[in-house]
Structure 1
């Protein structure tokens, strides 16, 4: 299957690590604020909505995306649909915008761009220990801290 992937920044030094793709929906939103006695304000907001746990993070821009051809078992299925993700992005944008602009009115919001994309989590072994690396911040986690040693007790977002 062909999917859009957020450009990995970090990759383990392992020669050929495995990976899992974690679902997000990225939004570029433009907020238009009317203000009494002042000029109107226009703000751009970038929301990264986690389609597994329904959380939203603010980004500095729209991350570069690559298209990868991958096997379906490498892709985590989202638990959140587009409508819920868009609602979460809009709520996050309004909260952020209202902390920066004083206005009697809620902003008019335009969706400039949106894409479903996946964050790469590298899976590799080092010194006999199975690890997972976040490709955007380089943080490493022991696999058994997310999944029980028997492989069935799932305590993290990588459970399938």
Structure 2
């Protein structure tokens, strides 16, 4: 299956062939159009990265580079949030951010400039006998055991592979 992935910045060192799991996001580039009394209107760009597993939104500086990978379906985590929920979360996040920068009597008109489903790569590998997971965008490592437990009972979805 072909998927868009966020360009990995970090990769485990001294590991010949790490496996990975792909974590779902929806990325939005939004334009906010604010009307203002007695002043010129304001237009702001906003980039929202909506987590499709936990329904959280983060503001980005731009639209991250995306690459297309051909992967096995079992490496891809299924989103728990549909497009409409993700879009509404992006709008809510954009309005909160925009209203802290612009004084207006009205809510902004919002236009979706671009949006794409993309996946963040989490590397899974073994180092010094311990299974680890690395976030490909910030390089942080986590013990797989702390996420899934010693016996794997907490394990859900693609993290278990």
Q: Taking structure 2 as the reference length, what is the TM-score of the superposition?
A: 0.96
Given that 1:27 and 1:114 are in contact with CA atoms closer than 8 Å, whether structure 2 keeps it comes out as yes
1:22 partnered with 2:60: no
Query: Which residue matches 1:114?
Result: 115
Q: Structure 1: which 4+ aligned runs deviate by more than 3 Å?
A: 154-160
Output the CA distance in 2 between the equivalents of 1:32 and 1:87: 17
1:36 partnered with 2:37: yes
1:137 partnered with 2:141: no
Deviation at 1:158, TM superposition (A): 3.4
Output the CA distance in 1 between the equivalents of 2:99 and 2:108: 9
Query: Which residue matches 1:147?
Result: 148
- What are structure 1's unaligned runs of at least 5 residues? none
Deviation at 1:49, TM superposition (A): 0.2
Query: Which residue matches 1:127?
Result: 128
- Corresponding residue SS for 2:24: strand
- Corresponding residue SS for 2:148: coil
Output the CA distance in 2 between the equivalents of 1:36 and 1:109: 19
Given that 1:52 and 1:157 are in contact with CA atoms closer than 8 Å, whether structure 2 keeps it comes out as no
Given that 2:9 and 2:136 are in contact with CA atoms closer than 8 Å, whether structure 1 keeps it comes out as yes
- Corresponding residue SS for 2:86: helix
Deviations 1:100-129 (A, max 9, x none): 000000000000000000000000000000
Q: Structure 1 159/127 Cα, relative in aligned 2: closer, same or farther at 3 Å?
A: closer
- What are structure 2's unaligned runs of at least 5 residues? none
Query: Which residue matches 2:106?
Result: 105
- RMSD of aligned C-alpha atoms? 1.5
Deviation at 1:152, TM superposition (A): 2.0
